[in-house]
Amino acid sequence: MSRQTAIFLKPLAVVATTLALCAAPTVAQAQAKLTYALPGIPPVFASVQAMVADKEGFFKKHGVDVTLRAFESGAAASRAVASGEVSVALSPSALVISQMSNTDVKLVAIYGLEHPDWALGSTDPTATCDSLKGAAVGVDAIGGARSIALKTLLIGGCKMKIEDVQQIALSSNVAAALIAGQLKFGVLHIDDIPIIEDQTKKPVKLVVTQKMVRPMDHYMLLVANKEQLAQNRDAYVRLVAGLIDAERFMRDPKNAAKVAEDAKETGRSPAYAMKSLSAYVAMDFWPNDTDGLTEKNIELLGNVMKKVGNIKADKAVAPYARIADPSVWKDARALVKP
């Protein structure tokens, strides 16, 4: 080999080695596996973002293998994360903040949904706060997301206590119970209402809504186990990057039919899913290029949980730094094209 050829090949060898080293993390990242717990059986509509990230390949695009798994409630999902059974869970903010304040549970929020859509509705057109007294009200689980929402809706909108009504645990099947005439009252999501009205041919009477009671609030947190996050942070960053891409995909009207198809595991027909998607996108239900972890909203909800007794009298509201880690979203955002 001539000296000139040797000199030419040496830089190529260096470049090849450098490329191999750069490629190595990508291979490792592609093998990272996480489990994402969805609240409700079938999952509530908030879970559609994760479904889209999965089915449209956004998780895989960012080098993480994510398995979606439905849990009976957001409370059960967060417990599974705390125990290390699953990697992340979409759980009600009120519940997570209360858990972190009352115990040393090893959870931390890495992403969030700030705008609750809760409504206390009825198939009885004459329903009022007075007619709620002693009535059966459909929730997901005692102490679950709908149950906590019911408590705040009653206190803020009807000046009543949770003990003034009878809670009926139905997971995410509250709308079905109202349609079947088994109940007259239920804690509902926006996407429940058109289905009830279509099936019963009657308007749903909204006795109290979350917006009426507390315009600024926080709805759900994507929580991770603090120890597992520290051990495998890069995979969690890539998962959130997939969610960011999914939200952008969902926001584009031309993708509505595809999103509706991806959402079929929620039990919503394509027509209902498209109608719900439009309403949710309009209210920025899923974070639009933000982490959904606004400190003011989270602190406000923490103070409300203390006031209504969900945080024990001898406990302080957990500080924001204990509840949320915005750095994961910042790193995820850097992986996504502007």
Q: What is the pLDDT along the chain (338 residues), one digit of tens a residue?
A: 443 333 333 344 444 444 444 443 444 444 589 999 999 999 999 999 999 999 999 999 999 999 999 999 899 999 999 999 999 999 999 999 999 999 999 999 999 999 999 999 999 999 999 999 999 999 999 988 899 899 989 999 999 999 999 999 998 899 999 999 999 999 999 899 989 999 999 999 999 998 888 888 999 999 999 999 999 999 999 999 999 999 999 999 999 999 999 999 999 999 999 989 998 999 899 999 999 999 999 999 999 999 989 999 999 999 999 999 999 999 999 999 88
Domains identified in the chain and CATH numbers: 31-115+217-335 (3.40.190.10), 119-213 (3.40.190.10)
Q: How far is CA 72 from the centre of its chain?
A: 14
For residue 151, the number of C-alpha atoms closer than 13 Å in the C-beta half-sphere is 18
Which sign does the torsion angle of CA 21, 22, 23, 29 carry?
A: positive
pLDDT in the model for residue 213: 87
Please tell me the predicted confidence (pLDDT) of residue 140: 92
Q: What is the pLDDT of residue 31?
A: 57
**Amino acid present at 287:** P
Q: How far apart are CA 220 and CA 175, in angstroms?
A: 20
Cis peptide before 125 (omega within 30 of 0): no
Find the helix or strand (DSSP H, E) in which 335 lies. Answer: helix 327-335
